[in-house]
Amino acid sequence: MRSIDPTSEADDIGAFVPGQRFRIEGRAGGPLSGLTFAAKDLFDVAGHPTGGGNHDWAKTHPVPTRHAWAVQTLLDAGASLIGKTITDEISLGILGENPFDGTPVNPCAPGRVPGGSSSGSAAAVAAGICDTALGTDTGGSVRVPASFCGLYGIRPTHRRLDLSGMMSQAPTSDTTGWFARDAETFARVSAVMLGEAIPDELPNRLIVAIDAFAFADPETAAALEPLVARLGALLGEIRQEAMAPPGLAAWARAQRTIQPYEAWQTFQEWIDRANPRFAFQVARNLVLGGMMPASERAWAGLVREEARGRMRQLLSPGTILCLPTTPFPAPLRAQPLSGLDPLRDRITVLCAHGGLTGVPQVTIPGATVEGLPVGLSVLGARGSDATLIAVARAMAEG
Amino acid sequence: MRSIDPTSEADDIGAFVPGQRFRIEGRAGGPLSGLTFAAKDLFDVAGHPTGGGNHDWAKTHPVPTRHAWAVQTLLDAGASLIGKTITDEISLGILGENPFDGTPVNPCAPGRVPGGSSSGSAAAVAAGICDTALGTDTGGSVRVPASFCGLYGIRPTHRRLDLSGMMSQAPTSDTTGWFARDAETFARVSAVMLGEAIPDELPNRLIVAIDAFAFADPETAAALEPLVARLGALLGEIRQEAMAPPGLAAWARAQRTIQPYEAWQTFQEWIDRANPRFAFQVARNLVLGGMMPASERAWAGLVREEARGRMRQLLSPGTILCLPTTPFPAPLRAQPLSGLDPLRDRITVLCAHGGLTGVPQVTIPGATVEGLPVGLSVLGARGSDATLIAVARAMAEG
């Protein structure tokens, strides 16, 4: 990891939106006093434009006059905000390459993408520029950059947190998440964001999602084995089972029907009014999202119900499941679309269950493939967010 | 029309690509000595980037080292080049609104679009900044801005001119065209570009395309009536007949299958490599172009053959056809896509025969609807370009 002075205003990894490095002090005496954070450019910060990673979004929307709930919550808890970080355009991306604001350096894997869409937040935390950072996760946008940048990251239970002041993409999948470099900071921030103490008690049963491990690159699955063994030892009982009996690809197809269609619904009025500029790949997603046939959407809705039932059945109290966060570490930057499209497709196969079922997921660093970080994820029943944080903390202590 | 000093470097109508106003003197003593021209930013000018109306095109392509054929031809004939003009992105547009370089003012219809994609060339000539300007016409990109800006404009016989150094869009439809404010300049430039003297003899039969006049707004058809009457009187014999017996909409559907698919083929490799930024509407055209089913393309190819046969049958020697260049004058600027899409569709219905059949077409100014210009077009058999110029000149003299 590169060493960067966190008190410096310098941002030599390009994590921040140009011109959006500033400081808003947190409330004195709060539980997060002394910590610094950054906010992905999808979160409103009063007096600063919300850019959404697209130069035409800020031009066609008013500057916010109040902070997003997540920003206000961290400030109230004493953390100080140091700026707004680069995101994939309107959060429609999983790799973190942005032609408008630039692509942040991945401090743990130079020459590789940082992952997205919360690319700048992950890069800033990984580089030590701030202690934590807000991201959003609709289809993997916290989990993927956390995995690629060697960080802790959470996608909370869907609808658990207040998303006011956060730019929406696909409302039935959108969540607010956050990153940290170390488990202790991660737990402190999580207790504030979740409004719940992180428990000492751990779950006692671990399911290893064999379908997800089989889908990952063999090198990645092998690299995660020691973490899985440690997790099993911590929890006691361990068993192997498929997470998605109809196939991870079927779940991913359903999510990739629901999410792009919702994204089109979200942005349609703006697009009609402003004819905004997008990178081709983003515009293509929107066009195809708008073309989803009703029959496909109806099928996807049923798959979603079935997947939610599967999660309820699998994740009984005291049980958590683990899987590789991403099927491989960060790909090389600046590849052609034809090289990246199949990689994107594979990443979303391991992330789709999040938006599809709404269960919380925490990704834990600690493994590498040829020196490149890759994360192990734990997920549990809806509402078990704090328990997953406890697991991450226990793994670090172990 | 606004009065602008043609010797000034000022460009207060935003017709030129920012930073691309310069001067290259024409050869002394040529037939176009004393004239000035501008080149649409799809034509190579040695030492100047070819922007193509898209900020990522120039970044990903080398600066040309030689002039396009059309630029060299005008310079050799003595005209001086004064700069490069704004185009719709990669010539995929018919209205002239460009979010990267800006939308040129329509000097004859302030508050209205200039028409595109040769928007800056038309605006510069209409404003009197230069005497003539190069454009390209694949699906109407000279004819439409000429109509909207009150200019003479030509789409020559397809494959007649050398297109080297001109950015391609859809090769089986691409042509190089040009504009002028007055018939005499138009004839001088045309003689050079066509390499053929403009004849004195006129055709002797006029077909009035009743399907095209019926498709135009009634106000536009009525405004063109005096021009049609004058044309009929010049030529002698006049008859009414449908240009496209299967329907103009069927021809347009075929052209709008062939052209976007070819455009996708043309730009596919670049898009894959560079993931360039586009206005949403342009990206949408490319995405949909790439998705054209083979069955639709096969049908379109047969319609094209049939349409070419129809033109051969209709346009016997001595016969020309006239139609409204556009179904209405220039629409208002900055409308939402949902307002512009139906207008675009209607404009292409009156332009599709050009790319579909390859016959030459000249648009002649002289009519207005509520003060806004609209052009009357004449078209003839392949190779009859000079005869059409002669008709335009005779109309002005008449």
* Binary contact (A286, B280; C-beta < 8 A): yes
pLDDT at A12: 86
| Average pLDDT for B35-51 | 98
- Is residue A40 flagged as an active site residue? yes
Out of B276, B283, B337, the one facing A272 most closely (by C-beta) is B337
- Sequence length of chain A is 398
pLDDT at B12: 86
A65 touches chain B (CB under 8 A): no
pLDDT at A2: 39
B336 touches chain A (CB under 8 A): yes
In the set A80, A84, A91, A117, the catalytic residue is: A117
Q: Which residue of A has its CA nearest to B339?
A: A272
- Residue pLDDT tens, chain A, 398 long: 334 444 444 568 999 999 999 999 999 999 999 999 999 999 999 999 999 999 999 999 999 999 999 999 999 999 999 999 999 999 999 999 999 999 999 999 999 999 999 999 999 999 999 999 999 999 999 999 999 999 999 999 999 999 999 999 999 999 999 999 999 999 999 999 999 999 999 999 999 999 999 999 999 999 999 999 999 999 999 999 999 999 999 999 999 999 999 999 999 999 999 999 999 999 999 999 999 999 999 999 999 999 999 999 999 999 999 999 999 999 999 999 999 999 999 999 999 999 999 999 999 999 999 999 999 999 999 999 999 999 999 999 96
Q: Quote the minimal CA–CA distance from B270 to chain A in Å.
A: 9
Sign, CA torsion A39/A42/A46/A49: positive
* Binary contact (A275, B276; C-beta < 8 A): no
B276 touches chain A (CB under 8 A): yes
- Is residue A119 flagged as an active site residue? no
On whether the CB atoms of residues A88 and A265 are closer than 8 A, the answer is no
* Binary contact (A279, B276; C-beta < 8 A): yes
B1 touches chain A (CB under 8 A): no
Share of chain B above pLDDT 70, in %: 97
- Select the residue from A57, A264, A280 to test the B interface by mutation, using most B Cβ atoms within 10 A: A280
| Average pLDDT for B24-51 | 98
- Which residues in chain A are contacts of B272 at CB distance < 8 A? 336-338
- Select the residue from B89, B272, B286 to test the A interface by mutation, using most A Cβ atoms within 10 A: B272
Burial code (b: 16+ CB inside 10 Å, e: under 16) for B336-349 equals ebeebeebbebbbb
Out of B272, B284, B286, the one facing A337 most closely (by C-beta) is B272
Q: What is the pLDDT of residues A186-221, one digit of tens each?
A: 999 999 999 999 999 999 999 999 999 999 999 999
Q: Please give the Cα distance from B133 to B270 (Å, whole number).
A: 28
A272 touches chain B (CB under 8 A): yes
Phi, psi of A179 (to 5 degrees): -125, 155
- Which residues in chain A are contacts of B336 at CB distance < 8 A? 272-273, 275
DSSP state of B35: -
- Which residues in chain B are contacts of A335 at CB distance < 8 A? none
* Binary contact (B275, A337; C-beta < 8 A): yes
Q: Please give the Cα distance from A205 to A213 (Å, whole number).
A: 18
For A159, other C-beta atoms within 10 Å of its C-beta total: 13
Quote the strand ranges of chain A, DSSP E: 16-24, 36-40, 80-85, 132-136, 152-155, 176-180, 205-209, 237-241, 277-279, 319-324, 361-369, 372-379
By C-alpha distance, which of B334, B326, B339, B322 is closest to B373? Answer: B326
Q: Which residue of A has its CA nearest to B288?
A: A287
Element (H, E) at A177: strand A176-180
The residue with tokens 């319609």 is B303
On whether the CB atoms of residues A174 and A117 are closer than 8 A, the answer is no
Q: What is the pLDDT of residues A245-263, one digit of tens each?
A: 999 999 999 999 999 999 9
All structural domains of chain B, each given as residue ranges with its CATH number in brackets, are: 16-194 (3.90.1300.10), 205-249+293-397 (3.90.1300.10)
Q: Collapsing DSSP states into helix, strand and coil, what is residue B237?
A: strand
* Binary contact (B280, A288; C-beta < 8 A): no
- Is residue B40 flagged as an active site residue? yes
* Binary contact (A338, B97; C-beta < 8 A): no
Q: What is the pLDDT of residues B6-17, one digit of tens each?
A: 444 456 899 999
- Which residues in chain A are contacts of B59 at CB distance < 8 A? none
- Which residues in chain A are contacts of B286 at CB distance < 8 A? 280
Q: Please give the Cα distance from A105 to A127 (Å, whole number).
A: 9
* Binary contact (B271, A56; C-beta < 8 A): no
- Across the strands, what pairs with B379? B321, B361
- Select the residue from A275, A278, A281, A288 to test the B interface by mutation, using most B Cβ atoms within 10 A: A275
- Which residues in chain B are contacts of A272 at CB distance < 8 A? 336-338
**Residues of chain A numbered 211-230 and touching chain B (CB < 8 Å):** none
In the set B121, B141, B377, B384, the catalytic residue is: B141
Out of B100, B275, B287, the one facing A279 most closely (by C-beta) is B275
- Which residues in chain B are contacts of A273 at CB distance < 8 A? 336-337
Q: What is the pLDDT of residues B44-96, one digit of tens each?
A: 999 999 999 999 999 999 999 999 999 999 999 999 999 999 999 999 999 99
For B64, other C-beta atoms within 10 Å of its C-beta total: 17
pLDDT at B6: 44
pLDDT above 90 for B236: yes
- Which residues in chain A are contacts of B270 at CB distance < 8 A? none
By C-alpha distance, which of A190, A165, A167, A235 is closest to A398? Answer: A235
- Which residues in chain B are contacts of A278 at CB distance < 8 A? 277-278, 280, 283
B210 touches chain A (CB under 8 A): no
B57 touches chain A (CB under 8 A): no
The residue with tokens 């604001």 is A101
On whether the CB atoms of residues B280 and A278 are closer than 8 A, the answer is yes
How large is the ipTM?
Answer: 0.89
B337 touches chain A (CB under 8 A): yes
* Binary contact (B271, A337; C-beta < 8 A): yes
Give the type of residue at B256: R
